[in-house]
Amino acid sequence: MRIRHNPFYYGGTIKESRLFIGRKREVAEICEAIAASASVSVVGERRVGKSSIMSYLADPAVKQKNGLDGARYVFAYFDFLGYPTITPTELWRRLLAETLNQFASSDLAAPVRTLLAREKIELADLERLLKGFKDAGLNLVILFDAFDAAAANPNFDQAFFGGLRNLSKYQLSYIIASHRSLSELRFAHPDALISPFFNIFRRVNLGGFTADEGETLLATSLQGTGVVFNAGDREVLELLAGSHPLFLQMAAYFLFEAYRYGHQNEGRLDYRWVQDRMWDNSAEHFRYYWDGSEAGEKFILATLALLEAEALARYRLYPAADDPMLRRLRERVLVIENKPGNPRLFSTLFNQWIAEAVSFVPATNIADFKAAIEKAKVRGFQKTWLDTTGRIRQGFAWIDVKAIIKWLIKGKGAEAILDWMTKLLQLIR
């Protein structure tokens, strides 16, 4: 069978509902909140599918499938990316314009058009409109994507967010998507966070795919293509992507391309070609994840990347299961577990990227580095995860960290490893 097209997609938001896979629990939880006129904060790392689930929710067929009457629930979507200084009036104009083609009765559209003609849209105007919606049995659902950018907007102060909270007394739900929880966002006006607006949200974490969701993605996408991923292919997908939605799509895409165009090495599918294409498309994301990590997160990421799994297990260097930094890395889908208590980075390519980013110290610090090694031989073991204050940087080329770590493991064990790593992180500025 000739393979005509690649069924996997990793270029951006999934806009067609038929291509949307999984997230049944999250979709059901959000729709239940909407039915109760409640609001939801969807929190997830970059490219785990926040925009895709927002687009999916707005589909009339999806609303109906999840018990939301399409004639009653009016959805308005806005993506704050690219609009760092949008004004409240312009925001409401864009939201209300989206509602015009959703009214079953043209009479309901008239007050919206009247409001759109105003030079400035005031809170009182919106209250009158929403009261009219409520009297007509309508529920307004506002989908705010990339809310991180809204928090940083200097035009959105405490009064603006207070106004949003005031409107929620009507039949109105806010569905907000952001990289971090609302309490962790950086606001242009720090006092904005004390607004009661931020007290009305249920939180839904959007993480990695479950095993069943990953399997559904592969099976559904490959159906009718003539391509079947064998056990070796599945192992490669696990190593390159883990449960991360973006990277699973990306790895499957290039694996499919290897079949499609016959990329082979000595008569077998060329996994190196797949890995190289993945690397070309992943480095920017890896840097974003790294730069967006706190110091404690970076230390765990660096440790998991630089130390072999065998050494991590032998010397009990894994962080505690309830470590808050480890929990955050799991939520961000950057760390997964092969088995309970044994975390690893979600992708071997992320391992490689971190190793290259932190595996060198500057030649100007050779003497200090040697002194640190000698000191590490005599100091005692500190069984704790150390705060590095973000001192790891890329761009030095002198000493291979992995080689030194292997030597330390063989010579002195865990106490030397941790002490040496601490000194290394202090040296790299």
Which residue in the block uniquely carries the two structure tokens 């809170």? 123
Query: What's the Cα-to-Cα distance from 94 to each of 84, 97, 125, rounded to whole Å?
Result: 15, 5, 15
Q: What is the pLDDT at residue 247?
A: 97
Q: What is the pLDDT at residue 319?
A: 76
Cβ–Cβ under 8 Å, residues 346 and 241 = yes
Q: What is the pLDDT at residue 2?
A: 57
Cβ–Cβ under 8 Å, residues 125 and 118 = yes
Average pLDDT of each block of 10 consecutive residues along the chain (429 residues)? 77 82 93 95 94 90 87 93 95 95 81 93 95 93 96 96 95 96 93 94 95 94 92 95 95 94 80 95 94 83 77 70 88 88 92 77 44 45 29 35 56 58 52
Closest CA to 381 of 413, 415, 420, 410: 415
Amino acid identity of 260?
R
| In CATH, 23-205 is 3.20.20.150 | no
Cβ–Cβ under 8 Å, residues 22 and 210 = yes
Closest CA to 7 of 237, 262, 254: 254
Cβ–Cβ under 8 Å, residues 76 and 141 = yes
What is the pTM for the complete model shown? 0.81
| Rg of the chain in Å (alpha carbons) | 25
Q: What is the pLDDT at residue 261?
A: 87
What secondary structure letter does DSSP report for 10?
-
State the Cα–Cα distance between residues 249 and 348, nearest whole angstrom: 16
Over the range 135-148, which residues count as b (16 or more CB within 10 Å of their CB) and which as e? eeebbbbbbbbbbb
Structure tokens at 271: 């996994």
State the Cα–Cα distance between residues 321 and 335, nearest whole angstrom: 12
Q: How many CB atoms lie within 10 A of CB 178?
A: 22
Torsion angles phi and psi, residue 253, rounded to 5: -60, -50
Q: What is the pLDDT at residue 360?
A: 46
Q: What is the pLDDT at residue 315?
A: 64
Q: What is the pLDDT at residue 362?
A: 41
Q: How many helices (H) does the chain have, and how many strands (E)?
A: 19, 9
The answer to whether the Cα torsion of 296, 299, 303, 305 is positive or negative is positive
Closest CA to 301 of 321, 279, 320, 319: 319
Q: What is the pLDDT at residue 223?
A: 92
Closest CA to 319 of 243, 418, 194: 418
3-state secondary structure of 172: strand
Query: What's the Cα-to-Cα distance from 359 to each of 133, 242, 337, 395, 399, rounded to whole Å?
Result: 60, 24, 24, 9, 7
Most distant CA pair in the chain: distance in Å?
A: 82
Torsion angles phi and psi, residue 57, rounded to 5: -65, -30
